[in-house]
Amino acid sequence: MSGQVFLPLLKRDLLLAFRRRSEVLQPLIFLLVVVSLFPIGVGPGPQILARIAVGVIWIAALLATVLSLDSLFRSDFEDGSLEQLVISGHPLALVALAKVLAHWLVAGLPLVLLSPLLAVWMNLGEGGLMVLVISLALGTPILSLLGAIGSALTVSLRGGGQLLSLLVFPLYVPILIMATSAVTSATDGLPYLGQLGLIAAGLVAALTLAPWAIAAALKLSLE
Amino acid sequence: MLQANQLLIERHFEPVFAPVDLQVQARELWLVTGANGAGKTTLLRLLAGLLRPSNGSVRCTAPAMRFLGHALGLKEDLTVTENLAFAAALNGRGDLSLDDAITEVGLDEARFQAARTLSAGQRKRCALARLLLSPATLWLLDEPYANLDAQGVGLVDRLLEGQLSRGGSCVMSTHGALRPPDLPYRELVVQRAVARV
Amino acid sequence: MSRVKKAFHQFGSPPWLFRFAGILSPILWVACLGLTAWGLYWGVFLAPADYLQGESVRIMYIHVPAAWMSMMIYALMALFGFIALVWHIRATEILAMASAPIGAAFTLIALISGSLWGRPTWGTYWVWDARLTSELVLLFLYLGVMGLYNAFDEPRKGARAAALLAIVGVVNLPIIHFSVKWWNTLHQPASISVVGGSSSIDSSMLWPLLIMAVATKLYYGANLLTRTRVRLVEENRNKRWVRDWIEGKKG
């Protein structure tokens, strides 16, 4: 009679996201707006755009992710659901994993799916698209996992949002470097599997370690 | 079932309340009373394990525990039925069906309403339904009478009676005059810590 | 209790730590000032100029020890934080949070001195070489820890949250270092550095550098213990031992 946590929580969060569809779409629209600002600001010359394409798309992805992370635990914290989850006795790391997965399905996966459009806008070189999509598919879950640690640490603070960016951006530096390097190598015809392999290894590490940190941070925030 | 020894917690390096000793056995109802701001909610959260004590200890030997906090733990965008279904999935469901639990707390007509649209009293009833759905030997309730009308108060008394008769116990906070009329209870008065000049 | 455990808990006792810090910190301050004066004098006036970089190499005597300290202090901060989170000892929370601004200051000194050092060589005040970029990210990590700590109303909660962040940061630090170094080799030829890398340093320059390295460690210790004493008195102002100490000072 002890119940389950992972699937019910995942389903609940997906249902809640569906009920607030318009809010969920906002970071994605933000992503599109930010990327489209670059040709406007830098000039539409195809060569410049191609040169900065990877960086722009990935940085826009970082920004959009951080935007959506602030509310990851906030509503549960404020309405008392987080307390109930902690008291239920289920492993908090599983709770964290379920919430991050729901968040990624709703905020990260659409980024991956939108990336071909962004690649076309930014005139990304040939051979880069597939690697871009793979780098985002492997990288955005890492962004969600690491960002969730920051989100859990700041959930009990009133002005949490801006502090969250400061907390997570240093942690994002390695992924940004590896992902942009992979795609740039692909467009230059150089080997890129090493970088992708490192990102994949990072994903495994994050999946193993981050939930514990998130759980500890959530317990701390409830005090 | 629940034991607290010289329990103490500090905020800004000052104790919140005087050290608390408590022993809760089966079939016991404890009322935690005290002035506003004395620390009743803090004490209940300490007993529930949400807070770490600065001194002393809490030991809970009850196999299952339910906590009703100040924030009820209801999702605004989910209906009464959906909220309770999630709670039942999380904590396991006893013999009572979802529909029966909703009827028991008097939310029949609101069963498909989003929690956002419910009154404070209705939300309280929804949260109380969780206690019916997933039985547990120890209940920790923070101001269960708050926001309820006379019928709601009666509902809480009925729930308490049921809990005790099943062999469970309950620690609940209340301020003011509201106390369960027919049930034997023991009282723990939380005293604000004396401020040292 | 075993002797080690007893020593551990004694160290965490506020009055004991207060007295210990009170005895040790003046010694550290004096030693630090002495060594700093000696090291700087030697480095600025006595040691030779570099045959490649000329006089500007002398900034190294500040830049390199500062960079070393910026990393060492972060590691110590994370260690104190880890002990605080696992064993719930308040003293280590204080030590961790007091270390953060000192470490951040060293990082800033490393950045500014590194930038000034590069000016004659590169012609600009900033280049994105591996070391400076890493130091910049390290500065952001420090600012994050300090910002998080100060955002909380309850100091103990803030210290524990910041400690957790510091631990997450220290785990990521090697990864950040490696990836920035690797990124730099992609985009730029190797930067000039006197210490580390392929060039070895002449002993006439090594000695003042080592003296400065020790001096900075003494500075950290002295500053840390002084800040800790202040914090201990603030928090425990209602306790008997603080009142007795104040009475003792008055008399």
**Ramachandran area for residue C54 (φ above 0: left; ψ -120 to 50: alpha; else beta):** left
Looking at the 3D structure of chain A, how many domains does it have?
Answer: 1
Euclidean distance between CA atoms C56 and C43, whole angstroms: 11
What is the mean pLDDT of each successive set of 10 residues along chain A, which is 223 residues long?
84 95 89 93 91 94 92 93 94 96 95 94 90 96 97 90 91 95 93 94 96 97 94
Please give the ipTM for the structure prediction: 0.93
Is A84 in Cβ contact with B67 (below 8 Å)?
A: yes
* Closest-CA residue to C17 (of C216, C223, C163, C233): C233
Q: Is the pLDDT of residue B197 over 80?
A: no
pLDDT tier, C1 (very low <50, low <70, confident <90, very high otherwise): low
Euclidean distance between CA atoms C241 and C243, whole angstroms: 5
Chain A residues within an 8 Å CB radius of B73: 79-81, 83-84
Is B11 in Cβ contact with C235 (below 8 Å)?
A: no
Tokens of B85: 């279904």
Which architecture, in CATH terms, is B1-64+137-197?
A: 3-Layer(aba) Sandwich (3.40)
* pLDDT, mean of residues B132-141: 94
Assess if residue A94 is contained within a domain.
yes
* pLDDT, mean of residues C106-121: 90
Residue A148 to chain B, least CA–CA distance (Å)? 20
Euclidean distance between CA atoms C20 and B11, whole angstroms: 27
Domain ranges of chain C: 16-240
Q: Is the pLDDT of residue B67 over 70?
A: yes
C-alpha to C-alpha distances, B173 to A79, B36, B44, B129, B176, nearest whole angstrom: 20, 11, 8, 19, 10
Residue B18 to chain C, least CA–CA distance (Å)? 16
Closest residue to B77, CB basis, from A4, A16, A223? A16
CA angle A49, A51, A55 (to 5 degrees): 90
* pLDDT, mean of residues B30-37: 88
**pLDDT tens for residues B44-62?**
999 999 999 998 999 999 9
> For chain B, what is the mean pLDDT?
91
Domain ranges of chain B: 1-64+137-197, 76-135
Residue A173 to chain B, least CA–CA distance (Å)? 35
Q: Is the pLDDT of residue C198 over 50?
A: no
Assess if residue A92 is contained within a domain.
yes
- Phi, psi dihedral angles at C33 (to 5 degrees): -60, -45
Closest residue to B90, CB basis, from A8, A20, A80? A8
Residue at A184: amino acid letter: T
pLDDT the model gives residue C196: 42
**pLDDT tens for residues A5-28?**
999 999 999 999 999 988 888 889
Computed on alpha carbons and rounded to an integer, the radius of gyration of chain C in Å comes to: 21
Euclidean distance between CA atoms A220 and B42, whole angstroms: 15
pLDDT tier, B196 (very low <50, low <70, confident <90, very high otherwise): low
Residues of B with CB under 8 A from a CB of A: 48-52, 65-67, 69-78, 82, 86-94, 134
Chain B residues within an 8 Å CB radius of A222: 50-51
> For chain A, what is the mean pLDDT?
93
Euclidean distance between CA atoms C164 and A216, whole angstroms: 8
Chain C residues within an 8 Å CB radius of B12: 154-155
Intra-chain end-to-end CA distance of chain C, in Å: 38
Residue A196 to chain C, least CA–CA distance (Å)? 13
Q: In what order do the strands lie in the sheet with B2-8?
A: B20-24, B2-8, B55-60
pLDDT the model gives residue B195: 63
**pLDDT tens for residues A149-180?**
999 999 999 877 789 999 999 999 999 999 99
Residue C155 to chain B, least CA–CA distance (Å)? 7
What CATH number does domain C16-240 carry, 1.20.120, 3.40.190, 3.30.70, 1.20.950?
A: 1.20.120
Residue to substitute from C87, C94, C156, C239, interface B, most B β-carbons within 10 A: C156
The contacts of residue C27 (CB under 8 Å, 6+ apart) are: none
Instruction: Say which DSSP state C199 is in.
Output: P
Q: Is the pLDDT of residue C190 over 80?
A: no
Q: Is the pLDDT of residue C88 over 50?
A: yes
Point out the least confidently predicted range of A13-22, B72-81, B185-194: B185-194
Question: Tokens 């709601």, residue?
Answer: B152
Is B92 in Cβ contact with A80 (below 8 Å)?
A: no
Chain C residues within an 8 Å CB radius of A206: none
Assess if residue A1 is contained within a domain.
no
* Closest-CA residue to C162 (of C177, C136, C142): C142
pLDDT tier, C194 (very low <50, low <70, confident <90, very high otherwise): very low
Residue to substitute from A7, A22, A83, interface B, most B β-carbons within 10 A: A83
* pLDDT, mean of residues B61-74: 92
Q: Is the pLDDT of residue C207 over 50?
A: yes
Assess if residue A153 is contained within a domain.
yes
Please provide the size of chain A in residues: 223
Is C236 in Cβ contact with B14 (below 8 Å)?
A: no
Closest residue to C235, CB basis, from B13, B52, B196? B13
Name the percent of chain B lying above pLDDT 90.
73
Consecutive H or E run containing B20:
strand B20-24
pLDDT the model gives residue B178: 82
C-alpha to C-alpha distances, B55 to B8, B9, B46, C81, nearest whole angstrom: 5, 6, 11, 20
pLDDT the model gives residue C200: 62
Chain A residue with minimal CA distance to C145?
Answer: A167
Euclidean distance between CA atoms A126 and A128, whole angstroms: 5
Euclidean distance between CA atoms B148 and A131, whole angstroms: 59
- Phi, psi dihedral angles at B66 (to 5 degrees): -115, 140
pLDDT the model gives residue A125: 84
- Phi, psi dihedral angles at A68 (to 5 degrees): -80, -15
Question: Tokens 């392999």, residue?
Answer: A197
Name the percent of chain C lying above pLDDT 90.
57
Chain C residues within an 8 Å CB radius of A181: 183, 186
The contacts of residue A11 (CB under 8 Å, 6+ apart) are: none
Ordered DSSP codes for B79-124? BHHHHHHHHHHHH---SS-HHHHHHHTT-GGGTTSBGGGS-HHHHH
| Cβ atoms C216, C69 nearer than 8 A | yes
Is C176 in Cβ contact with A170 (below 8 Å)?
A: yes
pTM to 2 decimals? 0.92
Chains B–C, number of C-beta pairs less than 8 Å apart: 10
Is C168 in Cβ contact with A149 (below 8 Å)?
A: yes
pLDDT the model gives residue C247: 87
Q: Is the pLDDT of residue C193 over 60?
A: no
Question: Tokens 């069963």, residue?
Answer: B111
**pLDDT tens for residues B149-180?**
999 999 999 999 999 999 999 999 998 778 88
pLDDT the model gives residue C195: 44
pLDDT tier, B37 (very low <50, low <70, confident <90, very high otherwise): confident
Euclidean distance between CA atoms A165 and A159, whole angstroms: 12
